Structure formats: structure tokens, C-alpha cells
Structure 1
């Protein structure tokens, strides 16, 4: 059966191309290694070995905290920043009028599941809208993987705002564009 196997002519050309590329890379590698006769020393401003410096950077790096795990006053500070983003970016740009099939509560920050989802959405937005960390496709990924699923869950008829309908609560619900700032209210 091995005699029945025919090798396509293009395969031989591909193999020859690979051999030529390998020979070229090998020659470049040989040139570079011969040119580097002296082992590189530490950089002038480098005081610690690279492995130790990497360990220190990891220890110094603080990941964004998940809001529901924070205690006061960090919770309030993080919530204020989240409210600012939701009211300044998310609500005006992405939310239409609430309806029975697409709910929204202007007091979303009183719903822990909404706070958790919106905080996660905001953290993803911070990362994925920075071209230096994720390139120029980050916003597209944020819309597809984060915004759309989050809004579907939040605004679903059985989502965290399921009971938030006009005239059903003590709270007067408003259109998303008219959401007041949650922390700048003055008690009259």
C-alpha cells in the first residue's frame, strides 16, 4: 500500500523553501552569536537580578478589587467611581428607554447583583479600551464579550430589576438619561 502513495509536486517545493529559510535563520543565528563574544552584564541602573525584580513587581502589582469584597471606606470610594462611569458613559451611550422587556432601575446601586455585574463590566472596559494593553480590537471585544451579555442579564424580565417598574415601588423611576448622581444629592 505504501507504493500507492503519491507525493504532490507542491510538497517538494514547500520542503525546499523550508530548507532555504532554515539555512538563512541558522546563518543569522551564527552571525549574532559570534558577534556577542562578551556576556552581557547587568544594566547600569539595574541593582537587583532580573528574577528578583520580577518577583518584586508581582508583589507590588495590585489587581482591581471586586467591589462586593470591599469594606468601608473602600467600598464607597469604588462605588462612587462606578456610579460616575455608569452615569457618564454607560447610561447615556447604551441604555434606551426602560420597558417591560428591557428594565433598568435608576437606583441600580441598591441592587447588589447589578453592582457586581456593572463593576465587572467597568473593570473590563478599563482594560479593553486602552490600546497600549490590548490593541485596537479591545473595544470590539468589550462590546461582544462583556457589554452585550451584561446588559442582557441586567435588563432581562427576570433580572435584578424585575420588580422595578413605574408606580410599583416607593421610588420614582426615571428614564436612564435622567439618572441623578447617587452621591451628590443634598437632603432637602
Structure 2
């Protein structure tokens, strides 16, 4: 062992950098093992008969029968939609707003009725789905939160809070946010002559 590496105290002379690398590798192995166990879980439906045609196994248009789409808000109906929306509102109001959003301004807009803006609703739900996945060390290791900030939070907030974003019609006045939705787009077909 070269003398230029400082040994970690009590680690039998093993360099501290090497111990950190080993811990990082252990976290990656745990994450990969977790993903492998999910992929190797037995299917919930009966397996097709041996020798069955692959197209018959996959179902129409090559889709797998057991495949499920993520619970994207606009794909849900009825009570599922209501439950997902309630959970999203709770996350935005208890985590995102107090922890991340500064005072709204002309350069960083926000609307307290954000859930009435379909574009904001869609973007914030997608951001929340990514947050749920990337803040669980068992599935993404310890770099998940950094990835979430870089790849999801920052681009989402740039789009939402821009002066041309979905909150562009919402203004701040008298220390509270006034909500204004844009009016209907004018049309030559239903304009009234004066």
C-alpha cells in the first residue's frame, strides 16, 4: 500500500476513500438487487402453455398483459382521481411550497389555486411521481434526490414559474395572490358586431 494514502482510523490501515467507494458500491448492489427482485417476482396471472406463440403471450399489439401504466392523474377516473389529487395537493402544500418556493414575484410566479391550472396540475403530478421514486434509497440509491432536483424539479419550476408559464395571468397584490384565469380566445366566428 502506498504511503501517500491516509489510513482510516480503526480500519486496519484501509484508505478512507476506498471505504467510501465500498459503501457506494454496497448501496448500488442493494438498489440493483431490489430492482432484480421486482423483475423476477412471479407473474400474478397464469403462465401461458409451453410452446405458445410469443404474440399470443404479449396480447394485442405486443403489449404485456401484466404491464401497468404509472398512476398519471389524467389517466385516472372517479375515486382514484380524487384520491390521487388529494395526495398531490397534500404533497405540494406540505413539502413543495414551504420547503422550496420563495415569495412569488414577476420573475417567479405561483398561484395558490395551482390545481385549477391543468398544465400546472399535470407538471406537478409528474414531479411528485418522480419524487416518490427518487427519494427511496432502496430503489435508487443515495443519488436519487440529486437526480430528482437536476432532472425533474429544476426544469419543472422553470416552466411553471416563468412569466410565460401557466400562472402568467395570476398576479400578486396586497400581500396575497389574486387568481385570474385567462378568458376565452377570441374567434371571428362568434364575434358580435356593435
**TM-score under structure 2 length normalisation:** 0.56
Alignment of 1:164-179 (within 5 A): 164-167=170-173, 173=177
| Partner in structure 1 of residue 122 of structure 2 | 116
Which structure has more helix as a fraction of its residues? 1
Using the alignment, how far apart are the partners of 1:85 and 1:158 within structure 2?
A: 25
| Partner in structure 1 of residue 6 of structure 2 | none
| Partner in structure 2 of residue 150 of structure 1 | 156
Which of 133, 136, 142 is the aligned partner of 1:136? 142
Alignment of 1:4-19 (within 5 A): none
Is residue 2:132 matched to residue 1:126? yes
Using the alignment, how far apart are the partners of 2:95 and 2:67 within structure 1?
A: 27
Q: Which has the higher contact order (CA 8 A, sep 6+)?
A: 1
Runs of 5+ unmatched residues, structure 2: 1-41, 49-56, 58-63, 179-194
Q: SS in structure 2 opposite 1:114?
A: helix
Using the TM superposition, give the Cα deviation of residue 52 of structure 1 relative to its aligned residue in structure 2, in angstroms.
3.7
**Equivalent residues, number:** 122
Extract structure 1 runs of 4+ deviating beyond 4 A: 58-61
| Partner in structure 1 of residue 95 of structure 2 | 89
